[in-house]
Structure formats: structure tokens, C-alpha cells
Structure 1
Amino acid sequence: MNSKPNAEISSLPNAKLYSYKELQIATENFNLANKIGAGGFGSVYKGKLNDGTLAAIKVLSAQSEQGVREFLNEIVAISGLEHANLVKLYGCCTEGEQRILVYGYLENNSLAQTLLRRHSNLKFSWKIRTRICIGVAQGLAFLHDEVEPHIVHRDIKASNILLDKDFTPKISDFGLAKLFPATMTHVSTRVAGTFGYLAPEYAIRGKLTRKADIYSFGVLLLEIVSGRCNTNKRLPVDEQNLLETAWALYEKGMLIQLVDKALEGDFNADEACRYLKIGLLCTQDMPKNRPTMSIAAKMLKGEVDVDEVNISKPGLLTELLTLRSSGNAPPSSSAGWGTQQDKSSSSQSSNMTYATMSFTSIYDRSN
């Protein structure tokens, strides 16, 4: 790693620099027994720091400049931020070619691993689910409205919501986050994120606003209540897309059928239907019709009446699918979905590119 990243990190008063030796000791030389996660970014290890604090130590692969950029972006975005529903970044290591992030350790993994994939024996009661939904909403409202400059996360999804021992949700992975000064309404940028959670106006035109995060949150909300991924190709064709299924049931007045069967009826039916309606409100096709995160949080807590608000059809990426099938989609990038180089512009959305990855492959990532 060159000296520029080190200089940028050193200029941040809340970013502690760890030595590689410290983190080697903390993880028992990155012992596989301490490995708690892995992905395209690299590996995550559980470790114990010098002061006895447990930490999640994320070792990023050093394959491209994109990795350096996201690494720096994450540190700049959340260094010094304090909120009950955001991961705590302790610091990092930039020794030699190393790119390592050190976070607070969270005992109950991610929603993707536990609730949606059922890779644990954790029981998600209705009370726990409501706490998770409200917590994520409050964390996003903090990023959107209380932080200056405002922060748009760009990759809200189940795998980026981590849970502590008390099931308090923590928003994680700020590598794709964008900082929005109060005077800026939107940026036009290349697409980054995860298919299934992407707002159509962002995926198709590259127009990024806080409403893109709100769309992603709406999808996540439906997942938490239903206990299923936003796309599941193992289901019958007409049930594979969670948003489409939710809308069809809403139109029939049968939303209750979408609630996770694993709850075995032990939930508040009115509250569950309200949460599903909020999910649909957040995923409406027109961004201006989606509530702000602050309002969504109040709706979840019952402080704002959802039934007084008209809900329109959710935005789906059917337009993009049609464009691709007709050969009229914008040119593809060789970088792959969610890894394109991000160059913001106030007006040039024509530079946006799309991944060469097939839609079938992208869907498979969500299952």
C-alpha cells in the first residue's frame, strides 16, 4: 500500500492504527479456528486485543486498487461515528501491503446467515424481529439526517446487518458509502450494490439519493417479517420474487399469509401487516413516494399511521430486464456487479455501466 492511504488514515483523529503483529497475536496468527466469515472481500477472524476486548478482524484481499478505495472509504465514512445501531470501528492496519479493519465483535453473526439461511439455532421471535427492524431504521435515519455530511450506505442488505448477543442490529460494511453534503440532492454514479436490493432509478439511471437506501430497507423489512430471501429460485415461478408476492397479497388483502411460518402464529397480526405495508411503502416505484427513514422508523413504532398513506406498486427492475433482453441496455463493465469503479458526477449519468454477470448469477447470490 502506498503512503497516500496511510497519510489519509493518519489524518483521522478517531482511526487507531494497529500493527500487523498485534493482530497476529489477537487472532493466534489468523488461526482457522478463529475464522468467523469469508467472502470476495477476504476473511474475518475473531480476536482478542491487548486490552482484552473481543474484536472482529476483517482482512481484505489485496488484489486491486478498488480494494484500497473501499478500504479508505469505510474508514472515512464511519471513523468516530457513535450509534447503537452501527458497527463500531476500532481501527485498522496498513502495514506493508496489509489492509485490515478492526471492529467490535458481534456474537450473533448476520441476518443473512441466521434468520434467512437458518444456519444457526437462534430463534427469532416476533419481539426480536420488531427490535431489529426498528434498530436498522434508526441507524439509517441517523446516517441520513443526523450525520453531516449525510451518508448513503448503498448496500443495505441482510448480510450487512450484524447482531450482538442481545439481537441489537448493527449496520456494517461502509465500503460503498457516499457522503452527501446538505446542499446536494443526488449524484449520478456507476452502480454498486447487490441485485434484489437496488432501487430501480439507481440501477437503471445511476441516480443515487437517500431514497435508494430506503428502497433497500423496504426489501430487508419484507425479508425479516417473511423469513425468506428477496429472491428464491427454488420456489414456484410466480412466488420467486418477494416484492411481487407481497404486492399480490396486499392487493388481495391477504398480507398476513406472508408472515414467517416459523413464528407458528405467535405474533401480533396487525403489527406484522403494518410492517409489511411499510416495506411496500419504502419500495414504491417513485422515489418521492417513499417515506424518509425518520418517518419509516416512526411508522414502525406506531407513531405515524400507515393506513392513512396510499401505497403504490413497488418498483421492480423489469425495465432493466427489458432493456437487456432487447439489446438496448447501456454498455457492460468488465468489473463485475458491485465492484465497478465509482466516479461521481452531478449530471453525467450516461457514463453508468452495468455488470457482465448474468441476471441468473446475480439472483443466485441472494439465495
Structure 2
Amino acid sequence: MQCVSPLNCSKELRSQSLLGQELIGTPFVISAYYNSLAILGCRNSVWLRNSETTTFVQCMTFCDENSMDTRCNGVNCCHTKIPLGLQQLQMTYQTVRSVNNSRFCGFAFLADQFWFEVDYRAYNGLLNDLLNPFEQEFVNATMVLKWELDNWELSRHSSCERQDKSIPPYGPVSSYSYDMFTVCYCKSGFEGNPYLPNGCQDINECTNPATNCPDGFTCINKLGHYTCRNRGSRVQIMFISIGSGLGGLILLLGLWMSIKAIRRRVKAIRKRKFFKRNGGLLLQQQLSSSNDNRLEKTKLFSSNELAQATDQYNENRVLGRGGQGTVYKGMLTDGKIVAIKKSKRLDEGDLEVFINEVVIVSQINHRNVVKLLGCCLETEVPMLVYEFIPNGTLHQHIHDPNEEFPLSWDMRVRIAIEIAGALAYLHSAASMPIYHRDIKSTNILLDEKYKAKISDFGTSRSVAIDQTHLTTRVLGTFGYMDPEYFRSSQFTEKSDVYSFGVVMVELLTGEKAVTSVRAEKGKSLAMHFLDSMEENHLFDILDAKVLKEGDREEIEAVAELARRCLHLNSKRRPTMKEVAVELEGIRLKKEGSNFQQNYDDREFHSIEVDEGTSDFSSISESSLMDTNSSFYFSIEAQHPLL
């Protein structure tokens, strides 16, 4: 392609095409790397433009008739680089010396580096002729075009890399270049054209005589390479394969056993760590210092047992959630239904509370106290296993009554008697007095026969027989908490009496210990009850079922007992033993004319009391008196621990 354009001398700017439409629509562009714009002549200035306002490059020549310089560095000849990606060139030029417009002044053309290094020297003689007023014929200058293909897809067995040095445009080359510094080639084991789809094909090395496998081996060609296989007998190959397989199997078995042993060891270490962190050492200390056989028989469950019992702690097994943890319903391997209390993660300061619950509940043997079956300390959080109590809490039955089995007045009195008997046992009949410290209707459960059972001994404390109170940080539930304990931080057995009094008021009124309406007025249920008693409005606040079924005299007796339990001065409150006796007396007065007859005869009678309810089994006739319709009993406590 000839791209040499003669220049007529002109003092004014002139435009003309250096390369027209020849490349438009072809895959070729002018290589900006190999080509330069060259001007032969002197006092010519040439610009390349892509518009009337934008200039790409400029080249200017100066005259020196005596110059022998062949480097085309601006004397009689100049050259400069061109922009990338051009398919046509428009130039503007001007002659800077005053000459006739028709006079020939030189040439403008594109030439590659090879032309400047070789052919330019041959045309150097033109420079003298260019000074004459005759146009010379000059058509031989070489130019390099660059080409690319649309939607380029290289062979998947080819590879390309960038090169930092230039690639010669002429002469033999061993590869194909598609860009200025990028070279592609077929990967090892393949041959062909890397620029064509599937252009690199596998070389069959086994057909090459230079490829030699050792004696006794056969060459096998593979994609991109080859292998040498032993020509031994199939029997040898079979034995080698079987041996390799057995060896691999033994290795895998050994690895599996090692992993299993490591896991067992890690699991054992974790269990020991959890046991220690969850207070196992403290529990062992308690066990070793205790003379109670029941505590020694407390079962330690494994983590696997409890996970299996709760179906991996399935959410469907949740019975309830509280401040100290979550309770799940579970079934042991022997088919026994249990309640599993999964404690929240314990801080070091809470370990004593948890172990305290284990120790205290393990020592209690009373039919109206939830029985602790055992515990598990080898899990991340400690767990307690209790007997399962199926009929929910007293709170649910009072405030969300079951229409199929509502709480009758007689049931309410019986439940109050059972709770009072259990608390009397804890305070005065256990091996060591125990203060529950959180008596409330949600901690009283009802079994399948709707017998009351006290639960949740997490904040309970045992005290020495000669100790009258505990000085601790205030714990409890608002609405049930003894005001005197709240002020002094000294918890006594009378503090449990106050909480029991609130539960009695709940049974009488059917109202909650704390409601938002009363909270705004700064009043609890206990204060509301006491005010109503003071104003003789008791029957205005009673539950409808109590009014319908209860005897007026009996209701007044129970309410009066509740009022005494709620006295702000703890010294004027009755003990739980006295409360249990008076409640029994209220029930007995209603139940039988035989009792009244025996009282009139002044004879001693042994009265049968439901075992485990009040834990008292006889009433002495000599201590029985009737004063103002109130009953006073001197009852002999009988319990296996005494």
C-alpha cells in the first residue's frame, strides 16, 4: 500500500488525505508501535488531526544543504509517532519559507522503523534534488499494519504471555503474535496454531522415536503427555492392586481409629473441664461433708442420656423458660418422664447458687416438694433432672383457669394446706432449716392428682438450727417479697410466711400479685387486700368461684390467716407450722360432726392427716380448745428425718 503524498509549497495551511478510506471496513489498523509519520524536505510543518480543533502530532523540518545526517532528526527530514488504532489519516501542512505556491517542497508519508534504518539512507540523495523546482517521483516506503479478529477465542491448550522487548516485523519467527507485546503458543505436549479454536492438538509422543520407555515398559499416549506402563503379567498387576488396596484400607482404618481416639480424648477433656467449671469440685466437697444418704444417692446423668431424652433439646420439648434457665420435658431410657432444667451459662459467682440447689433439693423428702432425680455437670451448661409434674403451675390455674377442671374452693383450701405443710417441713422438720426465699404461684406445680408441689430452690438457703436469719443481697419476686426483708436484707422464716400469704390472697381473689393498674398507684395485691380487710370490703374483692362455693365463716377464717401472714411486722406473723395447723383446723371444722362430738367428750383421738401434706399425724385432745371459732392445735411432728 502506497501512502506517500507530495507536498506543494504553501504559505497558507493546506489539508489533504495521507491515507484515505482504504482500511475502513477491514480488520487492519495502522500500527502505532512500528510506524512513524515522516516528512522529507525543509521548512515544512505538518499536523495530523482527527477534527478541525484536535491535533494529534506535529512534525517540522529545517534546511541544511550541507548536512550529511541520515538520522531524520529534523534536518531535511523529520519523523514522529502516530496515535493508536487509526485506519485513515488527514494532515494539515504549511511551508514556512516564501515560495511560489506551485513549487514542489517535499513528501509526507508513513514508514516503519526498518525503512528509517535501511531505505532512508538510499533516498538520502533525494534531498539535493528536492531543492530543485522539479517534482520527484517517490513511491517506495514500507508501512506495517496490525490486525485483530473479532470474538477472539484461543485454543484451550494454548497459553499467552506479555513480552517486554519488541518483536521484529520481518524475518523468520517461531510464533504468532496478535498484539504488540503478547505472544501465544501451544502448551507442552500440544502443537498447532494457538490462535484458532482447537488449534493446538495433542502430540502423540509414542510415535516419536526419541521417546523411549525403559525395557519391559510400554508407551501409552495421554492428553498432553505420555506414561510408561510395566508389561508384567496380569497376575502381578492384580497382586499389586490388591496389596495397594489393602494397604490403603489399613491406612484409612488406622487413621479413622486415631481420629476416634483423639475425639474421645478431646471429649473427655471437655467433660472434665465443664465438670470443674460447673461446680463439680464444689459438689464433691458438699457430698464429702454431708452425712445425708439421700445426697450421696443423687444420680449424675451423662450428657448423652439427657440429649437423647430431650431429642437433642428440641424446641417442641420446652416446658418453660425463666431467669435461671430453660426446662425441657424428657423421657429416660427406662421410660420415665422427667423435667430437665438446663441452666443458663453460669458465671463463677453463680456456681454456688446452682450447687446450692442440688444440695438442698437432694436433702428434701416431702410429697409436696418436687423431687430431684439427679444432675449433669459435664455439659457446657449444668442441668438438673426433676420428676415431671404434668398439670402446670398454680399461677396458670388461678389466672388462666381450665374450664374442664376449674379450681374449686375446696381445692384451693387443700392446695394452701399442702403448701403450708411443705414449708413447715422445710422450716422446722428438715435435718437443717431451709428457707425457700422465692415462694410464688409460678413455683408451685400441680401433679396428675392436682396435688401441690413446691419447686425452684435455686435461691434457697439452709441455715443452722440456732440461726434466726440470713443476711444476703435482696433476691425474690416483686409482689411476693417481704417488705421487712427488702429494707433490712435479713431473710427469716417469716419472710417465707409473707410470700405464702400473697399466694393465699391469690387463691382468695383470683388476682395477680402485681398488675399494671395497681403498679401505677404503687400498690401490690397484698396492700390492696389489707386495705380491703381494714375497710370491711373483703367480699368485694373475692373470686366469683370462692363466693359461690365457700362458706362465709370459712372464707373469713382463711382471709384472717392471710392477713396475719402479711403483717408488716414479721414478729407478729405466725410461723408456717402454726399456719399449717390453723388451715388444717379450718378444714377439719367443716368436714366432720364426728370431730365435734369427740371434742365434746374430751377424749384423745388420733386424727389421720394426709401424709406429706402437713406431715403431722396426730392431734392431742388435751391441747385442743375452741376460742372465738378459732382452732389451736398442739401437733406432734412425725417425720423420718427427726
Of stretches 224-233 and 237-246 in structure 1, the one that deviates more from structure 2 is: 237-246
What CA distance in whole angstroms lies between the structure 2 residues aligned with 1:122 and 1:71?
Answer: 35
Q: Does 1:166 align with 2:439?
A: no
Counterpart for residue 387 of structure 2? 104
Counterpart for residue 331 of structure 1? none
Counterpart for residue 269 of structure 1? 552
Which of 222, 225, 230 matches 2:505?
222
Q: Does 1:3 align with 2:315?
A: no
Counterpart for residue 355 of structure 1? none
Contact (CA 8 Å) 1:26, 1:47: kept in 2 or not?
Answer: yes
Counterpart for residue 327 of structure 2? 44
What CA distance in whole angstroms lies between the structure 2 residues aligned with 1:146 and 1:195?
Answer: 28
Counterpart for residue 300 of structure 2? 17
Structure 1 residues 278, 69: closer, same or farther in 2, change over 3 A? same
Amino acid in structure 2 at the alignment position of 1:40? G
Of stretches 300-309 and 124-133 in structure 1, the one that deviates more from structure 2 is: 300-309
Counterpart for residue 81 of structure 1? 364
Amino acid in structure 2 at the alignment position of 1:179? S
For the residue of structure 1 that corresponds to 2:353, the secondary structure is helix
What CA distance in whole angstroms lies between the structure 2 residues aligned with 1:267 and 1:299?
Answer: 17
Which of 522, 527, 535 matches 1:244?
527
Which of 125, 130, 143 matches 2:408?
125
Which of 430, 433, 457 matches 1:147?
430
Of stretches 272-281 and 262-271 in structure 1, the one that deviates more from structure 2 is: 262-271
What CA distance in whole angstroms lies between the structure 1 residues aligned with 2:485 and 2:520?
Answer: 26
Counterpart for residue 135 of structure 1? 418
Contact (CA 8 Å) 1:136, 1:169: kept in 2 or not?
Answer: yes
Which of 464, 481, 486 matches 1:198?
481
Structure 1 residues 285, 125: closer, same or farther in 2, change over 3 A? same
Normalized against structure 2, the TM-score is what? 0.46
Which sections of structure 1, spanning at least 5 residues, go unmatched? 310-367
State the shift of 1:108 in Å. 1.0
Structure 1 residues 307, 103: closer, same or farther in 2, change over 3 A? farther
Counterpart for residue 543 of structure 2? 260
What CA distance in whole angstroms lies between the structure 2 residues aligned with 1:176 and 1:67?
Answer: 10
For the residue of structure 1 that corresponds to 2:392, the secondary structure is coil
Can you list the C-alpha shifts for 1:161-206, whole angstroms capped at 9, x where unaligned? 1110111111111111111111111222211111111111210111
Contact (CA 8 Å) 1:249, 1:255: kept in 2 or not?
Answer: yes
Contact (CA 8 Å) 1:61, 1:67: kept in 2 or not?
Answer: no
Of stretches 296-305 and 13-22 in structure 1, the one that deviates more from structure 2 is: 296-305
What CA distance in whole angstroms lies between the structure 2 residues aligned with 1:102 and 1:173?
Answer: 12
Structure 1 residues 239, 205: closer, same or farther in 2, change over 3 A? closer
What CA distance in whole angstroms lies between the structure 1 residues aligned with 2:574 and 2:353?
Answer: 29
Amino acid in structure 1 at the alignment position of 2:332? L
For the residue of structure 2 that corresponds to 1:109, the secondary structure is coil
Of stretches 247-256 and 283-292 in structure 1, the one that deviates more from structure 2 is: 247-256
Structure 1 residues 68, 263: closer, same or farther in 2, change over 3 A? same
What CA distance in whole angstroms lies between the structure 2 residues aligned with 1:235 and 1:289?
Answer: 26
What CA distance in whole angstroms lies between the structure 2 residues aligned with 1:206 and 1:306?
Answer: 37
Counterpart for residue 397 of structure 2? 114
State the shift of 1:61 in Å. 1.0
What CA distance in whole angstroms lies between the structure 2 residues aligned with 1:143 and 1:204?
Answer: 24
Of stretches 56-65 and 226-235 in structure 1, the one that deviates more from structure 2 is: 226-235
State the shift of 1:244 in Å. 2.3
For the residue of structure 2 that corresponds to 1:79, the secondary structure is helix
State the shift of 1:217 in Å. 0.6
Counterpart for residue 290 of structure 1? 573
State the shift of 1:116 in Å. 2.4
State the superposition RMSD in angstroms: 2.3
Contact (CA 8 Å) 1:238, 1:245: kept in 2 or not?
Answer: no
Contact (CA 8 Å) 1:14, 1:80: kept in 2 or not?
Answer: no
For the residue of structure 1 that corresponds to 2:549, the secondary structure is coil
State the shift of 1:32 in Å. 1.6
Normalized against structure 1, the TM-score is what? 0.78
- Greater share of strand: 2
Contact (CA 8 Å) 2:328, 2:341: kept in 1 or not?
Answer: yes
Contact (CA 8 Å) 1:113, 1:120: kept in 2 or not?
Answer: no
Counterpart for residue 311 of structure 2? 28
Which of 92, 102, 126 matches 2:375?
92
What CA distance in whole angstroms lies between the structure 1 residues aligned with 2:339 and 2:378?
Answer: 18
For the residue of structure 2 that corresponds to 1:229, the secondary structure is coil
Can you list the C-alpha shifts for 1:306-364, whole angstroms capped at 9, x where unaligned? 9688xxxxxxxxxxxxxxxxxxxxxxxxxxxxxxxxxxxxxxxxxxxxxxxxxxxxxxx
Structure 1 residues 120, 53: closer, same or farther in 2, change over 3 A? farther
State the shift of 1:220 in Å. 1.0
Contact (CA 8 Å) 1:299, 1:306: kept in 2 or not?
Answer: no
Q: Does 1:182 align with 2:459?
A: no
For the residue of structure 2 that corresponds to 1:56, the secondary structure is strand
What CA distance in whole angstroms lies between the structure 2 residues aligned with 1:141 and 1:72?
Answer: 24
Amino acid in structure 2 at the alignment position of 1:7? L
Amino acid in structure 2 at the alignment position of 1:102? V
- Greater share of helix: 1
State the shift of 1:26 in Å. 1.1
Amino acid in structure 1 at the alignment position of 2:504? L
Amino acid in structure 1 at the alignment position of 2:432? P
What CA distance in whole angstroms lies between the structure 1 residues aligned with 2:399 and 2:557?
Answer: 21
Contact (CA 8 Å) 2:375, 2:383: kept in 1 or not?
Answer: yes
Amino acid in structure 2 at the alignment position of 1:207? Q
Counterpart for residue 583 of structure 2? 300
What CA distance in whole angstroms lies between the structure 2 residues aligned with 1:239 and 1:223?
Answer: 18
Contact (CA 8 Å) 2:398, 2:506: kept in 1 or not?
Answer: no
What CA distance in whole angstroms lies between the structure 1 residues aligned with 2:555 and 2:627?
Answer: 12
Amino acid in structure 2 at the alignment position of 1:164? D
Structure 1 residues 147, 279: closer, same or farther in 2, change over 3 A? same
Contact (CA 8 Å) 2:346, 2:381: kept in 1 or not?
Answer: no
State the shift of 1:119 in Å. 7.7
State the shift of 1:97 in Å. 2.0
For the residue of structure 2 that corresponds to 1:302, the secondary structure is helix
State the shift of 1:223 in Å. 0.8
Contact (CA 8 Å) 1:259, 1:272: kept in 2 or not?
Answer: no
For the residue of structure 2 that corresponds to 1:265, the secondary structure is helix
Counterpart for residue 58 of structure 1? 341
Contact (CA 8 Å) 2:409, 2:545: kept in 1 or not?
Answer: no
State the shift of 1:107 in Å. 0.9
What CA distance in whole angstroms lies between the structure 1 residues aligned with 2:406 and 2:570?
Answer: 35
Counterpart for residue 357 of structure 1? none
Contact (CA 8 Å) 1:153, 1:178: kept in 2 or not?
Answer: yes
